[in-house]
Structure 1
Amino acid sequence: MRVLKRAAAAGLVAAALIAGGCAAPSGEGGAGDDTFVVGLSSEYDTLSPVLGFAPDGGSLIYDGLMSRAPDLSLRPALAESAPRVSADGKTVTFRLRQGVRFHDGTPLTSADVKYTYDTLLDEAVASPIRGDFAAIDEVRAPDARTVEFRLRHAYAPFPQRTTLGIVKKDGLKQNIGTGPYRFESWTPGDKIMLSGNADYWGGAPAIDRVVLAFAPDDNVRATRLRAGELDAAVLPPKAAAGFRGERGVTVYDVPSADYRGIMYPLDQPVTGDRAIREAVGLAVDRRAMVDTILAGAGEPAYGPISPRTPWYEPSVERAHDPAAAGRLLDQAGWTLGDDGIRVKDGRRAAFTLMYPAGDSLRKELALAVASDAKKIGIAVEPAGLDWDAIEPRMPKDALIMGYGSPYDPDYVNYEMFHSAFKGQGFFNPGRYDNPKVDELLERGRGSVDEATRKAAYTELQKIVHRDEVWTYLVYLTHVYVIRGAYDGITPGVEAHEHATGGLFRDLHTWKPAG
């Protein structure tokens, strides 16, 4: 999960988004010059890997010890080869690639790797991703090219966690990495400018300059793309539809593990009633959402683990059954009132469903949920708000949220469902607390036996489904619109966050076609 403003729900953290205007980023044009302009829906909180920027790879500024191929397999980056893992799974050793230098010319050594992880784990730094690396007991640098991680316990996904970008020792605030692009400047609310690293160990990028332009509103990004002010953007399927078949434009449909669903505050009178949540889960027409709102670019969602991964448990799927939803509410004591809305103990079956105002797709999902819920006697009031208004209301109001990772079921789910994270911002915002789920999450991350892990995450999915912690709606197909033709674009299954990850994570390997 990359740290974008509100990225945990947009997809992950705090601060207001500043909408991009309808002009090109100041000082830059779109396609046609030597600069490639990418339109992003969210602005970063930080560019520091230690503070949560691009821990799963995808940064153009930093490299990790390992990186991911489009098929999600791990490949060496700053490491010269895959790590050696001890028989007990508690010692993981990397050998660094020779000749790698930071953007300021300083050679990369194991001391930089140790500094990066030690700083991340320092409680005083208060990194929002510190919990993802809690298995690390100690990082050693026995010589300039060897890094040794000593773990508190075996942690099967650990090599996957080493996609975290490495920062220069004592250079935490300098935005200096070893990646294919150098940081040039950041204009808050407008853009970040990057320049190609001609000395990059993986080869100099063919695209020499990159601008990351911030435009939270979907329609604004589409307008700027059509005007030629942007060279590429991720758009909702409906907004992208008008670009299909346009000369000089390519639309890429990329599968993802990125879901949208209803996050419920579980300690509120209405949304805290499992019968209400389960009835909504039965009433929503997921297939209609995919066919209409997503224009076919996605698939129904029933849980937090994607059907595109081997960890998926198909028994969590359920039919669209409004009649069953009505019977369930009857049995739970929610009786229809004169206005068609159910009542129990003098309380109406009504709740607010928030969504970020600039996100047209989430707005349409919220409206569809409200329509389907009304048919079974539940009043859902959609509310489009900015993130500054949404965050303080999450303990009381439901929210159309997004998350999802195809990498390992430990990713995202540990923070989303473990009681230790209750109410910590966008981690477990519904305050779910189930000791059995805590146990399964601990078992899943603590075992190196694949069958044990598979069984733990299968049971986890069943319990989360039974408790209707969320109502999962759809998995998205990420739709990229790119002006011009480029060789080297290789789609793969994507996580929730895309921005400069996803299709753009290998931007440095793209070359103009022809």
Structure 2
Amino acid sequence: MPRGAFSAVGVAAALSVALTACSSSGGTPAAAPGNAQGGGSLVVGVTSDPDTLFPWKATQFTAVNVLQNLYGTLTEFDKDLNVVPGLAESWETSKDGKTLTFKLRQGVTFADGSAFGSEDVKASLEKIMDEKTAAVARASLSSVESVKAPDENTVVLELKSPDAALPANLATVNMAMLSSDDTEEKLTTTPNGTGPFTLGKRVPSQSITLTRNDKYWGPEKPKVGSVEFRVIPDESSIVSAMQSGNVQLAVFNDPLVAQTAEGGGTITVTKTPQLNYHVLQLNARRGDLKDVNVRLAIQCAIDRKQVLDTAALGEGEVTGPMTAPAFKSDPDKRPCPTRDLAKAADYLAKAGKSGGVTVKTIVSQGEYATSVNEAQNLKAQLAEAKINLDLEVLESGAYVDRWVAADFDAAVALNGGRPDPDGSYGRYFTSDGNLNKVAGYSSPTLDKLFAQGKATTDQAERKAIYDQVAAELEDNAAWIWLFAGYTYTATTSNVQGFVPMASGSLQYLRTTSVG
């Protein structure tokens, strides 16, 4: 979840996401307290504590949202998910597409005051590429042959083959640029980035406070003196905190909670369609799920619209693998576009499992609001096809640990989508992808298709290639894609300037002010 001649157009250039305000009401909650730096302070309500402060390993949503405000990346996404300059002020691609030359911004410093330069970029990219680092975005650099730093402000990437997805992939916080002097051990407790904020104070399981970085390189300094991410375990309680003026901003997943918030008369709610997707992940390397017929039986036994209606009040749309508008999958192009229990029974019979199967399934409680309801609905539907989802509900941190370790048969998940399909799935479904263990599925066909998708910059060709990727995933029921929903950004009336994004990013906290 994210530029130059070919990069400026970018694979995400066609994306433009409309933000629809659900309501706007009067009333003024208690003002946020002032800050010695000026600009006041903003309190953001979140349901979970960040599980890591090391950006290269962050997968949990709260951790990503905190870290993207502490660290910088070579490229960034603008509000419409176009790829734009970040720590690299420009770049050029060679005619053969195999050399990418970045010109870095000058005068950028890390939080500790040390200067940012090409050696930091070289060290960061090489460490991300090193399998020993276990960086979650390592596969996004699979096309990179070498990284050179010919001078303090220039970085040259020599590629094995053209990579149309690389500029967009460099925009995620999992590609954060770190000081070459820092270590993972140090950064786990003391982040040291080039972002708009620096770490202020952390109270584990309660709050984490960021303070404005007055040396931030951006054209504007952050408008608030501090941002506190306050942990409040459930979304309904966050609404109460907003109504009393103790929290000024929150992003909800539950549409019912959003309706409650906007009904109070003091909160504005903005509804934003998301690239993120709700999915039942299947581990095709474990137990009965090794048989494609069992996986197809699960696919055919699920009414996705019922899951959407039950868990999210119908707020969203049934989806296939590709959620980005420029590459969107047709959810009807799958073996069972609608629920078909007879076909599910046939698939189980082909697998020699007419008596049924049991699938141990992990579910996160607290990471997002609809997870348990989704799991319970899936369990009820699949029971009618003699497929038992044995649910294990885990708190957010324990769930992430099990998920990263691929310690599950199935997982009810909300995964971050990205503007480019390679960024979304290249690390999952290629045989050498660093999250392939988590995905539980790969094939020579997918390896070939992903390589082709990166090798061309022609938008129509890339769309056709990723349509084939989607077909391969659906026809083999690698996972069961359910629906893409919305986020609901709630702000009190004294908050201005925050821009919700289809990627779920909170990067525009840097433009937010508190009246």
Shift of 1:345: 5.7
Q: Is the 8 A contact 2:198 2:212 kept in 1?
A: yes
Shift of 1:38: 1.6
SS of 2:486's partner is strand
Which residue identity is paired with 1:403?
A: N
Partner of 1:26: none
Residues 106-165 of structure 1: CA distance to partner in whole angstroms, max 9, x if unpaired? 333223322322333344434332222222222222222222222222111112233233
Partner of 1:285: 303
Partner of 1:171: 182
Is 1:349 aligned to 2:365, yes or no?
no
Is 1:36 aligned to 2:42, yes or no?
yes
SS of 1:100's partner is coil
Quote the Cα distance in structure 1 between the aligned partners of 2:439 and 2:131: 25
Partner of 2:410: 398
Quote the Cα distance in structure 2 between the aligned partners of 1:226 and 1:292: 27
Is 1:88 aligned to 2:85, yes or no?
no
Shift of 1:396: 5.0
Quote the Cα distance in structure 2 between the aligned partners of 1:78 and 1:394: 34
Which residue identity is paired with 2:464?
A: A
Identity %: 26
Shift of 1:96: 2.1
Quote the Cα distance in structure 2 between the aligned partners of 1:130 and 1:320: 34
Quote the Cα distance in structure 1 between the aligned partners of 2:390 and 2:57: 36
Shift of 1:85: 0.5
5 Å-filtered alignment, 1:308-323, equals: 308-313=325-330, 315-316=332-333, 321-322=338-339
SS of 1:368's partner is helix
Instruction: Please report the RMSD computed on the Cα atoms of aligned residues, expressed in angstroms.
Output: 3.2
Q: Is the 8 A contact 1:51 1:120 kept in 2?
A: no
Which residue identity is paired with 1:419?
A: S
TM-score by length of structure 2 reads: 0.80
Quote the Cα distance in structure 2 between the aligned partners of 1:398 and 1:145: 46
Shift of 1:73: 0.5
Quote the Cα distance in structure 2 between the aligned partners of 1:328 and 1:60: 46
Structure 2 residue ranges without an equivalent (≥5)? 3-28, 34-39
Is 1:325 aligned to 2:341, yes or no?
yes
Q: Is the 8 A contact 1:284 1:320 kept in 2?
A: no
Is 90-99 or 272-281 further displaced after alignment?
272-281
SS of 2:438's partner is coil
Shift of 1:209: 0.6
TM-score by length of structure 1 reads: 0.80
Quote the Cα distance in structure 1 between the aligned partners of 2:201 and 2:214: 18
Q: Is the 8 A contact 2:356 2:385 kept in 1?
A: no
Is 191-200 or 392-401 further displaced after alignment?
392-401
Quote the Cα distance in structure 1 between the aligned partners of 2:212 and 2:146: 35
Is 1:59 aligned to 2:59, yes or no?
no
Is 1:251 aligned to 2:251, yes or no?
no
2:228 to 211, 215, 232: 211
SS of 2:484's partner is strand
Quote the Cα distance in structure 2 between the aligned partners of 1:201 and 1:396: 43
Shift of 1:227: 4.7
Is 117-126 or 47-56 further displaced after alignment?
47-56
Residues 381-423 of structure 1: CA distance to partner in whole angstroms, max 9, x if unpaired? 43323353782895553220222423211113122222335xx
Pair 233,435 (structure 1): closer, same or farther in 2 beyond 3 Å = same
Partner of 1:7: none
Shift of 1:208: 0.9
Partner of 1:380: 389
Pair 216,274 (structure 1): closer, same or farther in 2 beyond 3 Å = farther
Pair 91,269 (structure 1): closer, same or farther in 2 beyond 3 Å = closer
Which residue identity is paired with 1:257?
A: L
Which residue identity is paired with 2:307?
A: M
Pair 385,470 (structure 1): closer, same or farther in 2 beyond 3 Å = same
Partner of 2:513: 511
Pair 446,35 (structure 1): closer, same or farther in 2 beyond 3 Å = same
Pair 467,367 (structure 1): closer, same or farther in 2 beyond 3 Å = same
Shift of 1:217: 4.2
Quote the Cα distance in structure 1 between the aligned partners of 2:362 and 2:57: 28
Q: Is the 8 A contact 1:89 1:153 kept in 2?
A: yes
Residues 416-438 of structure 1: CA distance to partner in whole angstroms, max 9, x if unpaired? 222335xx7x6443521422122
SS of 1:280's partner is helix
Shift of 1:439: 2.0
Shift of 1:52: 4.9
Quote the Cα distance in structure 1 between the aligned partners of 2:239 and 2:264: 14
Partner of 1:108: 116
Partner of 1:261: 279
Is 141-150 or 306-315 further displaced after alignment?
306-315
Q: Is the 8 A contact 2:118 2:153 kept in 1?
A: yes
Quote the Cα distance in structure 2 between the aligned partners of 1:442 and 1:279: 30
Partner of 1:180: 196
Q: Is the 8 A contact 1:52 1:129 kept in 2?
A: no
Which residue identity is paired with 1:90?
A: K
Shift of 1:220: 4.8
Quote the Cα distance in structure 2 between the aligned partners of 1:125 and 1:333: 44
Q: Is the 8 A contact 1:290 1:300 kept in 2?
A: yes
Quote the Cα distance in structure 1 between the aligned partners of 2:407 and 2:87: 42
SS of 1:99's partner is coil
SS of 2:50's partner is coil
SS of 1:159's partner is helix
Is 1:464 aligned to 2:473, yes or no?
yes
Which residue identity is paired with 2:444?
A: P
Q: Is the 8 A contact 2:362 2:408 kept in 1?
A: no
Q: Is the 8 A contact 2:310 2:373 kept in 1?
A: no
Q: Is the 8 A contact 2:299 2:336 kept in 1?
A: no
5 Å-filtered alignment, 1:149-160, equals: 149-160=157-168
5 Å-filtered alignment, 1:71-86, equals: 71-81=80-90, 83-86=91-94
Shift of 1:311: 4.7
Q: Is the 8 A contact 1:101 1:178 kept in 2?
A: yes
1:198 to 198, 214, 227: 214
Quote the Cα distance in structure 1 between the aligned partners of 2:274 and 2:55: 23
Q: Is the 8 A contact 1:49 1:166 kept in 2?
A: no
1:436 to 433, 442, 445: 445
Quote the Cα distance in structure 2 between the aligned partners of 1:62 and 1:473: 33
Structure 1 residue ranges without an equivalent (≥5)? 3-28, 335-342
SS of 2:289's partner is coil
